[in-house]
Amino acid sequence: MPPNEREGDDDSSSPGPGGVLSTRIKRVFDYWIDLRRDRPFPDWSEVSLMDIYDVAPFVAVLDVEPGISSSRFRYRFCGTALVEYRSTLKPIDPTGHFMDRVAWPFDVSFLIRACERVVQDRKPAILAAGEIDESIYFRFERGFFPLGIDGGGVTQIMACIDRAEDG
């Protein structure tokens, strides 16, 4: 994860958007920073997807369900663009399903590990385009942002997924 590069954010415990190319992921990152203020992360109850309506189609929210050896991640919300990306998969809309129980065109362990890192480190995680071998036609950038009760653990993860434009 690149070092903190967001001007005006002196908390080095949260990385900046670094090499992220997606303006949508940067938009979610800025929104997350504004909600977070001086805390490690904001609470899900503070998030209003209407505040980021322009990028909400590219946002998913995952509930973190602690397990015996590791957490599981259940989709609470999946934006319309993300559902469209899944048009050939079952279920098309993963809302209500665990991440590890829906079909993927790639090895889902990359996504699960990124979410586990967010829970453990209590910081955002970024997967750059090309980190997951998902398609010869499309590459996606992904940003994962922790949400939870102040002083407690991560209870949700807000993710933004955006197609990377080839330069």
Residue 20 DSSP label: -
pTM above 0.75, yes or no: yes
Rg of the chain over all Cα atoms, to the nearest angstrom? 15
Q: How far apart (Å, rounded) are the C-alpha atoms in residues 133 and 111? A: 12
Q: pLDDT-based confidence at 13, cuts 50/70/90? A: very low
Q: How far apart (Å, rounded) are the C-alpha atoms in residues 158 and 27? A: 12
Q: How far apart (Å, rounded) are the C-alpha atoms in residues 28 and 127? A: 15
pLDDT in tens, 112-167: 999 999 999 999 999 988 787 666 567 889 999 999 987 789 999 999 999 876 43
pLDDT in tens, 32-77: 999 999 999 999 999 999 999 999 999 999 999 987 778 999 999 9
> Which domains occur in the chain, in start order?
23-163 (3.30.450.20)
